[in-house]
Amino acid sequence: MSTETATVPHTTAPEITLDLLFGLLDCDPGDGLAKLMHNARVAHYTLPALVLSVLENEGVDLGITAGAELRRARHRAARYAGVVADLPDGGEVVPLKGASLAQLYPPGVLRSQGDVDLLARDESRLWQTVSRLATDESGQIWVTVMGAEPAWNVLVTMVWQADEPIVDHEYRVELTTAALLGDFDRVRVRTTLPTDPVLAALVCLTEEGLQRPFHPRDALDLYVLRPRLPAAADIAALVEEFHLAPELLGLGRYTSRVLPQCDVAELTRVLAEPARRELDRRENLPAAVAPAGLRDTVRCGQPAQGLLLRRRTRTDLATARTHWSGDQAVLHTPVGDYLLVAGKLVAEEDFESALAMLRTCDESAAC
């Protein structure tokens, strides 16, 4: 992982204007600003703040309510920027996706973030950051492991209530040791990113297509990235290496439809063949066999979720470790103990058994 991963150079950004947003959000200017804001809310919960920031840039009087909404969004962005600013020097933990892409937007235009994604060089640095952020127990900490220790990858999601939870989404910070999680099926975990920061941002954006449909903010992200990208053939070779050619082709086609100001005609043309090859690769992979139990899930590299048993600070642990009993495992981490589960439901007797395992560990001091 390069220390340059999240340092995107800032050059002159393409304009994001009110007229552009009317087209992007499929809204006739004659329908007015209320309709534009409605369409923004329907498209994605982060888009209203972006629209308001563009209105403010163009001198529109936001009024009391809309002005307060934009101030809350800027406060949220500042909180997230503070998380990034407090990261240790040296590239041990670096921001991904949103924090990088936000630097590419024109001055004054707010690319509001739902969360902050952080990539840690290794697991011990991940837990150091988690411990530093977990200053009290008011937030939640969710843990997922992928693979068998010690070669596993770890994903930690930290959640705090927003200042005004009735109207705002919670704060969320996600930390991982894997740059790209894939779909846990045909596209597996990839632990590194391109060293070029713009290409790293593009790959992270494209990866979103494995988890969800693209939406208008993704088109805007590609729009601000496009002037900084190398030749289309170089981009195609890169995303094929990361098994993402179909997703970038999909993003390009979507963007050309909703945001024709973003010229991706050559890119989509060049991506057609790499995308076909990647789809053929996925189609010809052996059919996955459903894991039989937790051990098999971990062995196969599928995600195992941690169900919190108790919060506890463990200064004696630099990394997480598992304590197995049959096909059941308790995950001990520097911030708490979790029951690892492979499914969505947990039997009450399994939960009680895990608590009994903890009591045994405490009494013997063996865990």
Residue 23 and residue 97 in one domain: yes
Q: Residue 177's pLDDT is what?
A: 96
> 270, 293, 315: which is the final residue of a domain?
270
Residue 187 and residue 85 in one domain: yes
Percent of all residues in the chain with a pLDDT value above 90, rounded to a whole number: 78
Residue 105 and residue 46 in one domain: yes
Q: Cα(256)–Cα(153) distance, rounded to whole angstroms?
A: 36
Residue 239 and residue 336 in one domain: no
Closest to 183 (Cα-Cα) out of 209, 148, 221: 209
Dihedral pair phi/psi, residue 156, rounded to 5°: -120, 130
Q: Residue 5's pLDDT is what?
A: 35
Residue 213 and residue 328 in one domain: no
270 CB-contact burial (10 Å; exposed 0-12 / middle 13-18 / buried 19+) = buried
280-290 pLDDT, tens digit per residue, is 999 999 988 88
40-71 pLDDT, tens digit per residue, is 999 999 999 999 999 999 999 999 999 999 99
Residue 202 and residue 242 in one domain: yes
Altogether, the residues listed in the chain come to a count of 367
Q: Is the pLDDT of residue 9 over 50?
A: no
Closest to 250 (Cα-Cα) out of 205, 302, 295, 283: 205
In a domain, 44, yes or no: yes
Residue 210 and residue 320 in one domain: no
Residue 111 and residue 44 in one domain: yes
125-166 pLDDT, tens digit per residue, is 999 999 999 987 778 999 999 988 888 999 999 999 998 999
In a domain, 145, yes or no: no
Residue 265 and residue 181 in one domain: yes
Dihedral pair phi/psi, residue 258, rounded to 5°: -95, -15
> 247, 270, 293: which is the final residue of a domain?
270
Residue 82 and residue 206 in one domain: yes
Those residues with Cβ within 8 angstroms of residue 82's Cβ, 6 or more apart along the chain or in another chain: none
The angle formed by the CA atoms of residues 197, 146 and 217, to the nearest 5 degrees, is 40
pLDDT band at 11 (very low <50, low <70, confident <90, very high): low
The β-bridge partners of 142 are 157
pLDDT band at 104 (very low <50, low <70, confident <90, very high): very high
Mean pLDDT (the chain, rounded): 92
> Domain tally for the chain?
2
Residue 17 · residue 259 · CB < 8 Å: no
Q: Is the pLDDT of residue 2 over 70?
A: no
295-317 pLDDT, tens digit per residue, is 899 888 899 999 999 999 999 99
In a domain, 199, yes or no: yes
In a domain, 265, yes or no: yes
264 CB-contact burial (10 Å; exposed 0-12 / middle 13-18 / buried 19+) = buried
In a domain, 220, yes or no: yes
Residue 103 and residue 238 in one domain: yes
Q: Is the pLDDT of residue 10 over 70?
A: no
Q: Residue 25's pLDDT is what?
A: 98
pTM value surpassing 0.85? yes
Domain that holds residue 324: 302-364
